[in-house]
Amino acid sequence: MILADSEAHLIEKTVAGERLLPEEGLRLLGAHDLAALGRGADEVTRRLHPENYRTYNIDRNINYTNICTAVCDFCAFYRKPGSPEGYVLPREELLQKIEETVELGGDQILMQGGLHPEFKLEWYEQLLHDIKTRFPQVNVHGFSPPEIHHFTKVSKLPLRMVLERLRDAGLGSLPGGGAEILVDRVRKAMTRGKVMTDDWLNVNRVWHELGGRSTATMMFGHLETPEERIEHLQRLRELQDETGGFTAFICWTFQPDHTEMSEIPPAGAYEYLKTNAVARLYLDNFPNIQSSWVTQGLKVGQLALYYGANDMGSLMIEENVVAEAGTVHYLTLDQIRGAISEMGYQPRQRNVFYELIDEAQEVSSTQPASLSPLPIIS
């Protein structure tokens, strides 16, 4: 199906660097010419990233606990306090995971967990201290906005103080987890005891005011309407206008298996690529869009490089949350680099701040399967 003239004009508008209005973004989200949306998103990406390379990084997702006071119908990972399946990762085991990551060329860990009802801020400060003492070179990309908001409640401390103390203890950057859809109607319909939209955004706002950087995410394809997807993008764009602290945007489709929302049909590759392309067209102030091969698989994740993404994301030496929902895609570094090369670009390793690793220090090949099997814990 060919785009209507008005829709084609909107794509031309964004390619020229003009900003979409919410109603215009919604019109593109409802368009059916996937190829045209992809071409437009790719032109925007090439304008923002004319370089001959596309990037990836090497990190490990460490879930330090699955005990969580929030009840999220979409989550197969969490366990209620007191559950026999609940765990807190022993400190030495956590440090061993970081050591394995460093040995494979990683310079970062993505560290997130459930909303534990007992741990005060001092517990997290000690955790960061232990990590940075043993591995001062490793960036801790840790504690999603729902976790940070939870820390303020458990410790009865102001948000700015919590973030300052975590930063001083060694926190390097914030992941964008727990955003789902930044519309309270959706959040209230599928979660209890978890941060609402304004507070999720404010955690990032204050972190950015302190000089920190973070990523932003969107999990879609569940209870939200197309209008609410655009509202989500609009709220992110407004905060980025205000602070400039987001490094990248990552979206992925809801994985329904083994959740309380398993009756919802999974969104497919078409919906993922369309939404990714519209996000690139709409988020004109976000420098980077990251592919989600973890949920989409190698080929669709690779194709996203033609639908607005300029980054293949992480090698993801370990991933537990999506895996617990039944979606398990594991790639080797050779596969990630090869996927980028097949699309006509040079693969380049980066850090969480999208700074390139010196080519002489890049890891050219590794095999995450050489590690012990991934635990099915999240």
pLDDT digits (tens, 9 = 90+) for 261-313: 888 888 899 999 999 999 999 999 999 999 999 888 999 999 999 999 999 99
Crossing angle between the packed helical segments 197-209 and 226-243, to the nearest 10 degrees:
20
Look up the CATH superfamily of 24-370: Aldolase class I (3.20.20.70)
Q: What's the pLDDT tens digit per position in 41-50?
A: 999 999 999 9
Which residues are CB-contacts of 328 (< 8 A; sequence separation ≥ 6)? 322
pLDDT bin (cut points 50, 70, 90) of residue 76 is confident
Where residue 246 falls (left for φ over 0; alpha for ψ -120 to 50; beta otherwise) is beta
pLDDT bin (cut points 50, 70, 90) of residue 359 is confident
Q: What's the pLDDT tens digit per position in 194-230?
A: 999 999 999 999 999 999 999 999 999 999 999 999 9
pLDDT above 70 (res 1) = no
Phi then psi dihedrals of residue 301, to 5 deg: -60, -40
Q: What's the pLDDT tens digit per position in 144-187?
A: 999 999 999 999 999 999 999 999 999 999 999 999 999 999 99
Q: Which residue has the higher pLDDT, 5 or 247?
A: 247
Q: What is the reported pLDDT for 277?
A: 98
- Mean pLDDT over 77-89 rounds to 90
Q: What is the reported pLDDT for 321?
A: 43
- Measured from the Cβ of residue 221, the count of other Cβ atoms closer than 10 Å reads 22
Q: What is the reported pLDDT for 365?
A: 57
Q: What's the pLDDT tens digit per position in 109-147?
A: 999 999 999 999 999 999 999 999 999 999 999 999 999
Q: What is the reported pLDDT for 17?
A: 95
Which residues are CB-contacts of 259 (< 8 A; sequence separation ≥ 6)? 73, 74, 75, 76, 325
Q: What is the reported pLDDT for 78?
A: 77
What's the mean pLDDT when you consider all of the chain? 90
Q: What is the reported pLDDT for 5?
A: 73
What residue segments make up the domains of the chain, in order of their start? 24-370
Q: Which residue has the tokens 């032109």?
A: 43
Least confident of 10-19, 78-87, 271-280: 78-87
Q: What is the reported pLDDT for 327?
A: 45
- Mean pLDDT over 363-375 rounds to 43
CA 234 to chain centre: 17
pLDDT above 90 (res 97) = yes
Percent of the chain topping pLDDT 90: 75
Q: What's the pLDDT tens digit per position in 304-358?
A: 999 999 999 988 675 444 444 344 557 888 999 999 999 999 999 999 999 999 8
Question: Residue ranges of the alpha helices (H) in 283-325?
Answer: 293-296, 298-303, 321-324
Which residues are CB-contacts of 208 (< 8 A; sequence separation ≥ 6)? 214, 243, 244, 245, 246
Q: What is the reported pLDDT for 217?
A: 97
Question: From CA 250, how far away is CA 238, in angstroms rounded?
Answer: 17
Phi then psi dihedrals of residue 173, to 5 deg: -160, 160
